[in-house]
Amino acid sequence: MITINTIKAPIKKELEVFQKIFKNSAKTDISLLNAVNAYIFRKKGKQLRPVLVLLSAKLCGDITSSSYTSATLVELFHTATLLHDDVVDDAKQRRGIASVYAIWKSKIAILAGDFLLSRSMLVALEAKEFDLLEIISNAVKEISEGELLQLDKVRKLQNTEGAYLTIIQKKTASLFAACAKAGATSATDDEAKIEKLYQYGLNLGIAFQMQDDLLDFDKTNALGKPLYNDLKERKMTLPFIFALTQTEDSKRYLKLFKKKKKTATELDELATFIRENGGTDYTEKQMDIYRDKALSFLDGFEDSPEKRALEQLAYFATARKK
């Protein structure tokens, strides 16, 4: 059975070093901000993105100070986006506990996110890692564009499979790709290896987001994601987009989907429609295609614990329930 601990095993010592650097990177003289940060870091999650950075680096050579800078930068940035997302989504929980937004309200959540975002950029500048800063800054731009594109689609209540793929490539996959590229860049100058890991991360991120969208319909998921949350927020993810193409009665379900407030019965009706018209099955098949595509970019690397861990990560990311 693949677990996050088996994936982390090849970089166990390096992760311990990273944790110390990461915590120190967010220290400040402002007691309120330290309290917020302590609360956030108390339940740090799986830290898949710094894991991806360090595994990619070790696959290409030795983990360097640049590798630790990369891992710290991406985790600071990712944590900042979560704080901002909770405000945008009015999310009262994060990782099974009350969100910063729920406890300290929107102003502090936004400002704490801004602080972590600025620290992520400064970490790279202080280390004079300008190439790294460019890699992550491009991902920041992509994520912002993806979020705005998704909001625009929600506002207009229209989406296609092509637009959906563009959104998830920008808002989710771009950071996975940046993590793998930054890790590789910190350990090698081999452009072919760097590009392969970039493509691995990009396709992994697409598959990861498809699994996240599938969890919206999974009553057994233990991630803390509310059931049918995407349907409630009128986010047109791939399961619904595909199901609409399989029925002559699409107008009826689109009308139901457009309702701002849906009853539990209406949500169940939409979910049943999606399942019965192949929406979840199709999305799962597409997810597996992108997972396998990610794995194909590891083929040129010699067998090693790091390569096996990256292979395991692809399967873990597309089968996770918690």
State pTM to two decimals: 0.92
d(CA 139, CA 143): 6
d(CA 228, CA 40): 26
What are the residues whose beta carbons fall under 8 Å from the beta carbon of 46, sequence distance 6 or more?
A: 4
d(CA 184, CA 181): 5
DSSP character at residue 260: S
List the domain boundaries for the chain.
Answer: 4-317
The tokens for 179 are: 């993590």
Look at residue 321 in the predicted model and tell me its pLDDT: 53
Domain 4-317 has CATH 1.10.600.10: yes
CB atoms within 10 A of CB 261: 6
pLDDT tens digits in sequence order for the chain, 322 residues long: 889 999 999 999 999 999 999 989 998 999 999 999 999 888 777 899 999 999 999 999 999 999 999 999 999 999 999 899 889 878 888 877 889 999 999 999 999 999 999 999 999 999 999 999 999 999 989 999 998 998 888 777 778 999 999 999 999 999 999 999 999 999 999 999 999 999 999 999 999 999 999 998 886 654 556 788 889 988 899 999 999 999 888 889 999 999 989 999 999 999 999 999 999 999 999 999 999 999 999 998 999 999 999 999 999 999 865 4
